[in-house]
Amino acid sequence: MPPRSTRSVDPLDDDDYPAYTMGRAAEMLGASPAFLRSLGEHRLITPLRSEGGHRRYSRYQLRIAARARELVDQGTPIEAACRIIILEDQLEEAQRINEQLRGRRSQQQPETTA
């Protein structure tokens, strides 16, 4: 999943800032670098690259990777885990949009008096 926003924020406060190397990210997750590479191959997360070409991960991406690790640890194949997470994300976005549209609709409806 690509970064969620491009807003200008202090990197220490920005969940999308690519602060973690692959080794550090793998250590934090208790996973191997190969696990992180496989999440990229399945297009669940796309790490940014340093000037030297090294993968860098954000806190947001690490949360997604942790969710994938949880599913895999429960016996879900990695391909299925990635698909589940992508679908969960799409559902959450659809629900958010639905709520926004409902809010607009209720504001546009005229009040009836009896």
**pLDDT, tens digit (0-9, with 9 covering 90-100), for 37-76:** 999 999 999 999 989 999 999 999 999 999 999 999 999 9
Q: Which amino acid does the sequence have at 12?
A: L
C-alpha span between 53 and 49 (Å, rounded): 5
pLDDT tens digit sequence for 72-110: 999 999 999 999 999 999 999 999 999 999 988 888 776
Please work out, in degrees rounded to the nearest 5, the angle formed at the alpha carbon of residue 78 by the alpha carbons of 84 and 93: 25
**3-class DSSP assignment, residue 13:** coil
The pLDDT value given to residue 101: 93
Is residue 3 predicted with pLDDT exceeding 80?
A: no
The pLDDT value given to residue 94: 97
